[in-house]
Amino acid sequence: AAFASASGKSRVRVEISVARNVPPEALARGGGVVKAGIRSAGSVLAEGVVSYDKPLSLDVSAAEHASLRISIDNGGSPDSDWINVRVR
């Protein structure tokens, strides 16, 4: 809600992606892959596997979802899991 108020936006876009500078060697051995989730008030809004070529994005109403919880899990392999989280 604070972001929406400060920005004047009624909708917020959340983007979770793997950093573009993960070394190719790490990608080749299966690095740069995580499980991610976006929740609000106990409800799952989005979840999935995020990899170098597969981000997770969600557009939400700032009025309906005043607070978001973003979770990142290394999926059992913490190899070069460099993650970007953007809220726009």
- The whole-number pLDDT of residue 79 equals 82
- The whole-number pLDDT of residue 8 equals 81
pLDDT at 24 over 70: yes
Q: Are strands 34-40 and 69-73 parallel, antiparallel or unpaired?
A: antiparallel
Q: How confident is the model at residue 62 (pLDDT cuts 50, 70, 90)?
A: confident
Torsion sign over Cα 46, 67, 75, 57? positive
Stated pTM of the model: 0.86
